[in-house]
């Protein structure tokens, strides 16, 4: 059997509660026949949709995650959501350090590290997002930036927690309506840097950590990206927000991998 492929989407600040449930149910219906031993499917809706999502979708088919989380369990943190609160909902994963959190809301690597540790200590899968800006790429320091984001972001994480870490490589210049997708070659090169750094941090066990590519993934580039040896999955924004289109993208990507040899 080929390696397990990861496919997921962050719904950002889009979709009402009703639209989220409708989307999730259609996505499950469409993708049901694909064995979950072969793919891991996850969706990260808005906070306000999460509770309803946990009650209305079969988590054997789709894992649910939160878009952010405070590292404190409770306290004077107006507007924040704690790991204890997310635990009450019974969600599976927490996304940490998405490009928009870092660059629109000014989150730092040190804060992402606190969140990663809090998520892992509450037994969530921590999906740590990393990626260099356009300027950092231009200065030729992408490797250093990614290594810093990993070394600070994962600082103090125990080896026993490695099984609950996922990484998404999302170059800032590739994300969203003004983004340019990374070429498959460039993404593969950066994924290798990431995997090498993870092995430096955790040893060979780090090879279990899935590293997903995200940033303007679309039906045209998904196949080239997913066949790269160091790319374990695709983290898709806009191209995933219609269930039928995401299903099609997943199938085409998976078929390409299955027919590789």
Residue whose pair of structure tokens reads 């927490």 in the numeric block: 94
What CA–CA distance (Å, rounded) separates 205 from 191?
16
Query: Least distance to ligand PEP from the beta carbon of 20, Å?
Result: 17
Q: Could you say whether residue 235 binds ligand PEP (CB under 6 A)?
A: yes
Q: Which is nearer to ligand PEP, 225 or 236 (CB)?
A: 236
Closest to 250 in 3D by CA, of 235, 260, 228: 235
Q: Could you say whether residue 176 binds ligand PEP (CB under 6 A)?
A: yes
Query: Least distance to ligand PEP from the beta carbon of 47, Å?
Result: 17
Query: Least distance to ligand PEP from the beta carbon of 52, Å?
Result: 23
Q: Could you say whether residue 179 binds ligand PEP (CB under 6 A)?
A: yes
Does residue 170 have an active-site annotation?
A: yes
- Residues touching ligand PEP, count (CB under 6 A): 13
Catalytic residue (one of 40, 112, 132, 170): 170
- Give residues with Cβ within 8 angstroms of 20, minimum separation 6: 11, 45, 46, 49, 52, 53
Query: Least distance to ligand PEP from the beta carbon of 10, Å?
Result: 5
Backbone angles phi, psi at 214, to 5 degrees: -140, 150
- Pairing between β-strand 233-236 and β-strand 211-214 as defined by DSSP bridges: parallel
Query: Least distance to ligand PEP from the beta carbon of 176, Å?
Result: 5
Q: Could you say whether residue 167 binds ligand PEP (CB under 6 A)?
A: no
Q: Could you say whether residue 214 binds ligand PEP (CB under 6 A)?
A: yes
Does residue 100 have an active-site annotation?
A: no
User: Could you give the dihedral angle defined by the CA atoms of residues 182, 235, 189 and 147, in that order, rounded to the nearest 10 degrees?
Assistant: 110
Q: Could you say whether residue 236 binds ligand PEP (CB under 6 A)?
A: yes
Return the residue of 40, 109, 170, 247 that touches ligand PEP, per CB under 6 A: 170
Catalytic residue (one of 40, 98, 136, 188): 98
What is residue 8's three-state secondary structure?
Answer: strand
Q: Which is nearer to ligand PEP, 82 or 149 (CB)?
A: 149
Q: Which residues pair with 169 in a beta bridge?
A: 130, 213
The b-or-e profile of 17-38 (16+ CB within 10 A means b, else e) is beebbebbbebbebbeebeeee
Q: Which is nearer to ligand PEP, 83 or 131 (CB)?
A: 131
The helix or strand, by DSSP H or E, that contains position 64, with its residue range, turns out to be strand 63-66
- Other beta carbons less than 10 A from residue 39's beta carbon: 18
Q: Could you say whether residue 21 binds ligand PEP (CB under 6 A)?
A: no
Q: Could you say whether residue 216 binds ligand PEP (CB under 6 A)?
A: yes
Q: Which residues are catalytic?
A: 98, 170
Q: Which spans of this chain sit near ligand PEP (rule: CB under 6 A)?
A: 10, 170, 175-176, 179, 214-217, 235-238
């Amino acid at each position: 059997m080929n390696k397990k492929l990861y496919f997921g989407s962050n719904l950002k600040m889009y979709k009402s509660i009703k639209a989220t449930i409708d989307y999730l149910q259609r996505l499950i219906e469409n993708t049901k026949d694909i064995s979950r031993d072969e793919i891991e499917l996850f969706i990260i809706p808005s906070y306000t949709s999460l509770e309803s999502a946990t009650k209305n979708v079969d988590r054997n088919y789709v894992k649910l995650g939160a878009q952010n989380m405070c590292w404190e369990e409770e306290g004077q943190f107006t507007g924040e959501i704690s790991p204890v609160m997310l635990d009450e909902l019974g969600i599976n994963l927490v996304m940490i350090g998405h490009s928009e959190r870092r660059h629109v809301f000014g989150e730092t690597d040190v804060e992402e590290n606190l969140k990663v540790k809090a998520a892992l200590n509450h037994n969530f899968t921590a999906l740590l997002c990393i990626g260099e800006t356009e300027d950092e790429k231009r200065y030729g320091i992408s490797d250093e930036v990614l290594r810093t984001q990993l070394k600070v972001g994962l600082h103090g994480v125990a080896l026993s927690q490695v099984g609950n870490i996922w990484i998404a490589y999302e170059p800032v210049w590739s994300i969203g309506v003004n983004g340019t997708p990374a070429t498959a070659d460039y993404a593969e090169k950066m994924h290798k840097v990431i995997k090498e750094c993870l092995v430096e941090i955790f040893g060979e066990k780090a090879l279990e950590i899935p590293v997903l590519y995200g940033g303007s993934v679309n039906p045209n580039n998904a196949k080239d990206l997913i066949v790269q040896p160091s790319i374990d999955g695709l983290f898709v924004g806009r191209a995933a927000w219609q269930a039928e289109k995401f299903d099609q993208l997943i199938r085409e990507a998976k078929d390409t991998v299955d027919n590789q040899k």
